[in-house]
Amino acid sequence: MIAVRSRGSRALVALGLMAVFLVAFPFVMPLIGGDVSLATRVLVLGLFGLGVDLIFGFTGLLSFGQAAFFGTGAVVTAYLLREHLVPNTLVGLALGTVAAAIAGIVVGSQSLRQVGVYFAMLTIAFSQLFFFLENAPLKAFTGGESGLPNVPRAAIPLGFTTLDFSSALGTYAFIAIFFFLSYMLMRRIIASPYGAVLGAILENPERAAAVGHDVLRYKLIAFTIAAAYAGLAGGLLGVFQGFVGPDAFSIDQSGQIIVMTVIGGAGTLVGPLVGAFIWLFLQSSLQSVDALAGVWKLILGIVFVLLITGFRRGVVGGIITFLRRRKKPLEADIATDAA
Amino acid sequence: MSLNRQSFLASSLGAAGALATGGIGLPLAAEAQATIGNFPAGAQGSSIFVGLCCPLTGSYSADGEDQRKGYELAIEDLNNNTGVMAKIPSLRGKKGLLGKHITYKVADTETNANTATQRANEFIAKNKAIMFAGGVSTAETIAMQGVGQQQKVLFMDGASGSNDTTGKDCQRYGFRSQCDAYMVAKAMAPILAGKLGKNRRAIMLVPNYSYGLTLASSMREFCQKEGWTVLPDVVAPFPSPGDFSSYLTNIANSNADTFINIEFGNDGIASTKQAAQFGILKKMQLVVPNISTYLADGVGADIMNGVYGTLEWYWRLQDHFPLSKDFIAAFDRKYSTRPRWTAHISYAQLAIWADAVTRTNSFNPVDIIKYLEAGHPIELMLGKVHYRAEDHQQVRPVPVVLGKPKSKMQAGDDFFDIVAIVPGESVMQPLDTTNCKLPGYT
Amino acid sequence: MPDFQLIAAQLLNGVALGSILALVALGLTIIFGLLGFVNFAHGALFTIGAYAGWLTYTKTGSFVAGIGAALVSCFIVGIVIERILIRLYYHRPKEDQILVTFGLSIVLVEIMRAIFTGKSQLLSTPSWGSGVVNLAGIFYPQYRLEVIAIVGVTLVVIYFLIYKTRIGLVVRAGIDDALIVNILGIDVKRTFLLVFALGAALAGLSGIIDGPLLAVNPDMGTDVLIQSFVVIVIGGVGSFGGAVLGGLIAGEIISIATVFVPDYAQVLLYVAMAAVLILRPQGLLGVEGRA
């Protein structure tokens, strides 16, 4: 876990770098063979990953069911928007996020009593339940296996005019703003006393409980926040690609975001963003090489296994450790051992 | 450091806002002239680009492979004026399309609609695709139809058998050639009644999702019209349990004499194998209304023997349609195997598109759409086919087939005989029931 | 009210289905119960067993040879991945074990797809398994009844191996206290290796046994993994009896639910799994403290 500060010069540097990155990203992408839409997708998954990193990287909870909340936010937002039940995109996103958070409370309150493998298995069971609900009884709302197409693009009516974000760059900007604000909020959460307790729970839950913290309550709050982030990301997915389908609920989706978080580096907040970039970029560019078209997933799988085995802190974690070591070798080692 | 936090935040948000406005502002200028999607930008060079999105991994990877082969053969034939493309009147003697060489890329959708959408968007943005095609699962196809509509780039559907594709999820920029659930059921029922009799008791194994439920309800409707008794459906969950024994126990203990299996793909294979093990196939006649590409390979000829069903296309149609013969010959030469129906869809869709482009002398998608909507018939591997304007469903024959005994198989994939070729006109879904409202051209 | 015959048939089906589920879960419960190691690659090993068995059966015409091939190939694969990868993870957090085996399963499945393509292969029941048995008016596949017997034999063999042999004693001791066993001069590492390979072999066995019922393709193992979790959660971790009981209960839940609420049968299983995890996480026969 990398310590995060919410105020002071460190915070400003981090936020500044993020802002610079967000502005530059869509313009750099085409130069390296990507494009704006891929950049937008990276942000959507990076936002999803902020929540996953909160519960996994900072609290040590490995959930294989986050797709349930991603999907919930996606279909609620998409349904409200395409049926014109809400006045604008923002309200649709807000309601999708709330729906996902409620789902998070329901699932979390039952699952978090368990730890480790049992917890993971519970999240899988609940996730399968959500997948079933999406496909069958609720298919009038979710579109079932066909999904919900024709989700309107982002637009904010201001009375005298409407801000239309429907172009590729406009959609990117809309989502980048959400990502920046969500990132800033998450940094605040981590740096707060609440976040410190999460860190204590990550390190030694028994000790944290002994000191008097209601561990279950802290975990539940974290889990709900993560669900809300997942729901917001899901809603943004629909707005971005104009479509949400059952894949948003699948166990593949849950697995994928975990892989991205680990590859990028858990406990760094930007890890999932980096991991999403690596995964999506490799997926896109490996396919251009004809010989590798059918085996790109195999290559990514091998990379993933190698990273977990040898490079546990992921790309970002590894970079941060490297930078620390250069500045203050001994303290860096102590800090990293503690993490 | 005395950086004021508030002002920093304000300026970074301001930067983002500028980015957004820039994003909003720029396209307004571009749309001043008659640009539709990637036209004319994608058609200004000496070559044009076609984006192909096929499931090369995931549950439909076998179909995806067949689909890819069909596309690649079609483009090769178009560029070199060989094969079936050379026999289409408008394309005779012409290499490429309107003098331009066709380039393409195949992307893996992973049988995942989100991935399909991303790949499609990339083809459109990066490669200036003038048309894109693909998809095997319904979600993929519907998602990509949406991309086509949104980006104003023509999408020629790959495989898709759901009513929704030209029903509630229909799009102006999408064209679907496969017979949908309604057509399959309406075509099959009279043939079944003719071959098997009118007083039968049928029971159906139905996967609980839209495609399964609509096909089942259409089968029920049309079989009952023929005088059949259709027992209550045995509905299995979707996604499937893999092991259908509890559902087949229900079926084995019913007094039906006809077992209609609506399960598709790998679920179709598993459920059919298990049904054979339950002895159901000895007691009951098996009917598979929509036979998936590799069902027969997966269950074996012994089980497929005597089974009635429909195939989107089948190689023995070469005895009825000369272009099927040419298609098979060219495919076999290139790939040392015969095509299945997913490859047929690929090839036929590209042929129809190429013909439309040539006849309108334009790559403008609106011109092509209007040409296709005018319903001009074109002679292809299933004889004359054309598109219906109101929902972009192709009017084409439905081949009904019967599984043959192993001893009569003349080749490793010779699983069926053709029983009937039902004309498409007679089985189209009435337009007032489709719920299709095509959106605009621009 | 559905007739008695149907309910009786479903009860029988529950036992047969339950045996299959128990067999499938057995490999997972051995590794999880004995080594405390979470093996998310269990479904991939199942798939490898199915393919190895199919290949051998097709080439030799002997299903028994196919069973042998499945056991041997998965045993070898188990040894290989344990030596290269798994042994690095015994002392790493559970989450890491889940992650690495999850990644491993992607790798193994994609290798299968590259070799065999995504097309489903034809694997029929063996000649001694085809046919339908008439049990007092209930018609039931002979093969599934034979599977009950196969599962029974396998359980007896495993029980004997673990609890009645010297190797088994070493295994159990090594799990309880590896340090002491090491001091006594016995190679604990080899013990762990054997247990892992055994679990892998059992996964492969379930693959070839279950193969004739399913579509044999690279993705066939995904559902298997989840089903196995359901079974060992309900029955109890670290207990062979738990695998059997869990399998039987799961089988009966599905079968009886199919009589009354068929489209919810699968879902009820997940509800049951969640309920057990919430109320009694160690399962019905499980030993508290494991994992």
Residues A305, C104: C-beta atoms closer than 8 Å: yes
Q: What is the pLDDT of residue B30?
A: 42
Averaged pLDDT for residues A50-75: 95
For strands B174-175 and B154-157, give the pairing.
Answer: parallel
Which of A145, A172, A300 would you mutate first to test chain B, the one with the most B CBs within 10 A? A145
Q: Do A297 and B121 make contact, defined as CB atoms within 8 angstroms?
A: no
| Amino acid in position B197 | G
Does A131 reach chain B within 8 Å, measured CB to CB?
A: yes
In chain B, the number of structural domains is 2
Per-residue pLDDT of chain C (291 residues; tens, 9 = 90+): 667 888 888 899 999 989 989 998 988 988 887 788 889 999 999 999 999 999 999 999 999 999 999 999 999 999 999 999 998 998 888 888 888 999 999 999 999 988 998 888 888 889 888 888 888 878 889 999 999 999 999 989 988 888 888 877 877 776 677 677 777 777 778 888 989 999 999 999 999 999 998 889 998 998 888 888 889 888 887 777 888 899 999 999 999 988 888 878 888 888 998 888 888 877 787 765 443
| Nearest-angstrom CA–CA distance, B261 and B281 | 11
In contact, B301 and B328? CB cutoff 8 Å: no
- Domain membership of residue C161 (yes or no) is yes
Of B57, B246, B277, the CB nearest to C265: B246
> How does pLDDT run along chain B (442 residues), one tens digit per residue?
344 454 444 444 544 544 444 444 344 444 444 789 999 999 999 999 999 999 988 889 889 999 999 999 999 999 999 999 999 999 999 999 999 999 999 999 989 999 999 999 999 999 999 999 999 998 999 999 999 999 999 999 999 999 999 999 999 999 999 999 999 999 999 999 999 999 999 999 999 888 899 999 999 999 999 999 999 999 998 878 788 988 998 898 889 999 999 999 989 999 999 999 999 999 999 999 999 999 999 999 999 999 999 999 999 999 999 999 999 999 999 999 999 999 999 999 999 999 999 999 999 999 999 999 999 999 999 999 999 999 999 999 999 999 999 999 999 999 999 999 999 999 999 999 999 999 999 8
User: Which residues in chain C are contacts of B297 at CB distance < 8 A?
Assistant: 119-122
Is residue B401 domain-resident? Answer: no
Which pair of tokens denotes residue C102? 């999850």
The answer to the question of residue B414 being in a domain is no
Residue B282 in contact with partner chain A when CB distance is under 8 A: no
| Chain C closest-CA separation from residue B157 CA (Å) | 22
Q: How far apart are CA B309 and CA B300, in angstroms?
A: 15
Q: Provide the pLDDT confidence category of residue A335 given band limits of 50, 70 and 90.
A: low
Mean pLDDT for all residues in chain C:
87
Nearest to C107 among A110, A294, A302 (CB): A302
Q: Does B126 contact A30 at a Cβ distance shorter than 8 Å?
A: yes
Q: Where is the domain boundary, B271, B288, B311?
A: B311
Please report how the helices C63-84 and C188-210 are oriented relative to each other, as an axis angle in degrees rounded to 10: 140
Q: In a 3-state reduction of DSSP, which class is residue A163?
A: strand
Contact state of A146 with B162 under an 8 Å Cβ cutoff: yes
Q: How many domains, in total, are found in chain C?
A: 1
- Same structural domain, B98 and B130: yes
My answer on whether B128 and B208 are in the same domain is: no
Tell me if chain A has a CB within 8 Å of the CB of B226: no
Q: Which residues are bridge partners to B378 per DSSP?
A: B385
Q: Is the pLDDT of residue A153 over 70?
A: yes
Predicted pLDDT of residue A4: 67
Peptide bond into B377 cis (omega under 30): no
- Within a domain: residue C5? no
DSSP state of A6: S
For the entire predicted model, the pTM comes to: 0.89
For the A8-338 domain, the top CATH level (class) is mainly alpha
Question: DSSP class of residue B112?
Answer: -
pLDDT at B144: 97
Q: Which residues of B touch C218 (CB under 8 A)?
A: 61
Number of CB atoms found within 10 A of residue A332's CB: 17
- Give me the total of CB pairs closer than 8 Å, taking one residue from chain A and one from chain C: 99
Which of B245, B304, B305, B340 should we substitute to test contact with C (largest number of C Cβ atoms within 10 Å)? Answer: B245
**Looking at the partner chain, which of C6, C219, C220 has a beta carbon nearest the beta carbon of B253?**
C6
Q: Which pLDDT value is given to residue A2?
A: 63
> Domain-by-domain residue ranges, chain A?
8-338
- For residue C95, the enclosing domain spans 24-217
Backbone CA torsion sign across C90, C96, C102, C106: negative
Instruction: Mark yes or no for CB contact C122/B57 under 8 Å.
Output: no
Chain C residues touching A304 at Cβ < 8 A: 103, 106
- Buried-exposed string B413-429: b where 16+ CB fall within 10 A, e elsewhere: bbbbeebbbbebeebbb
Question: What is the β-pairing status of strands B154-157 and B131-134?
Answer: parallel
pLDDT score at C33 = 78
Q: Is residue C257 part of a domain?
A: no
Q: What are phi and psi of B106, to 5 degrees?
A: -110, 125
Contacts of A169 in chain B (CB under 8 A): 19, 22-23, 26
Sheet containing strand B154-157, strands side by side? B101-108, B47-54, B131-134, B154-157, B174-175
Best mutation target, C4, C7, C12, C13, to test chain B (most B CBs within 10 A): C13
Instruction: Report yes or no on C222 lying in a domain.
Output: no
Q: Name the residue among C118, C121, C124 with its Cβ closest to that of B61.
A: C118
Q: Do A146 and B121 touch (CB under 8 A)?
A: no
- The size of the A-B interface in CB pairs under 8 A is 165
Structural domain boundaries, residue B64: 41-179+316-396
CB A100 within 8 A of CB A228: yes
Say whether residue A16 is in contact with chain C using an 8 A CB cutoff.
no
Q: How far apart, in whole angstroms, are the C-alpha atoms of residue A201 and residue A212?
A: 12
Q: Please indicate, yes or no, whether residues B337 and B281 belong to a single structural domain of this protein.
A: no
Whether the link from the prior residue into B89 is cis, omega within 30° of 0, is no
**Which residues in chain B have their CB less than 8 angstroms from residue A279's CB?**
none
Residue of A nearest to C270 (CA): A125
Dist CA B119 CA A283 (whole Å): 10
Residue B31's pLDDT is what? 43
> What residues of chain A, 25 to 84, have a C-beta less than 8 Å from chain B?
30, 35-38, 41
- For residue B207, give the chain A residue with the closest CA: A136
Confidence at A6, pLDDT banded by 50, 70, 90: low
Of B162, B243, B232, nearest to B204 (Cα)? B232
Same domain, B82 and B169: yes
Residues B338 and B358 in one domain: yes
- ipTM of the prediction: 0.88
Structure tokens at A261: 């978080």
What is the distance between the alpha carbons of residues C97 and A312, in angstroms, rounded to a whole number? 12
Per-residue pLDDT, B20? 45
A22 interfaces chain B, CB cutoff of 8 Å: yes
What pLDDT is attached to residue B25?
A: 39
* CA distance to partner chain A, nearest, from residue B313 (Å): 24
Is B272 contained in some domain?
yes
Flag whether residue A173 sits within 8 Å of chain B, measured between CB atoms.
yes
Q: Which of A113, A120, A125 sits opposite C270 (nearest CB)?
A: A125
Between chains, do B113 and A296 touch, taking CB under 8 Å as contact? no
Alpha carbons C118 and A275: distance in angstroms, whole number: 28
The tally of CA atoms less than 13 A away on the side-chain side of residue A234 is 39
pLDDT in tens, C120-158: 888 888 988 888 888 887 888 999 999 999 999 998 998
The pLDDT score that the predictor gives to residue A164 is 83
- Of C17, C196, C270, residue with least CA distance to A68: C270
Give domain status of residue C154, yes or no.
yes
Chain C residue with the nearest C-alpha to that of A107: C274
CATH number of domain containing B235: 3.40.50.2300
Q: How far is CA C272 from the centre of its chain?
A: 19
CA-atom Rg of chain A in angstroms: 20
Q: Which residue has the tokens 């590896």?
A: C178
Mean predicted confidence (pLDDT) in A29-49: 94
Among A114, A118, A301, the residue with its CB nearest the CB of C103 is: A301
Closest by Cβ to B253, choosing from C9, C124, C267: C9
Within 8 A of B252 by CB-CB distance, chain C residues are 9, 139
DSSP per residue over C33-63, as a string?
HHH----TTHHHHHHHHHHHHHHHHHHHS-H
Contact (CB, 8 A) for B107 and B119: yes
Interface test with B, best of A141, A243, A298 (most B CBs within 10 A): A243
- Cβ distance of C226 and A251 shorter than 8 Å: yes
Q: Chain B window 159-218: which residues touch A at a Cβ cutoff of 8 Å?
A: 162, 164-165, 169, 171, 208-211
Gap from C137 CA to chain A (nearest CA, Å): 35
State how far residue C278 is from chain A, nearest Cα, in angstroms.
Answer: 6
C274 part of a folded domain: no
In this structure, what token pair is assigned to residue C158?
Answer: 């495993």
Q: How far is C27 from chain B (nearest CA, A)?
A: 19
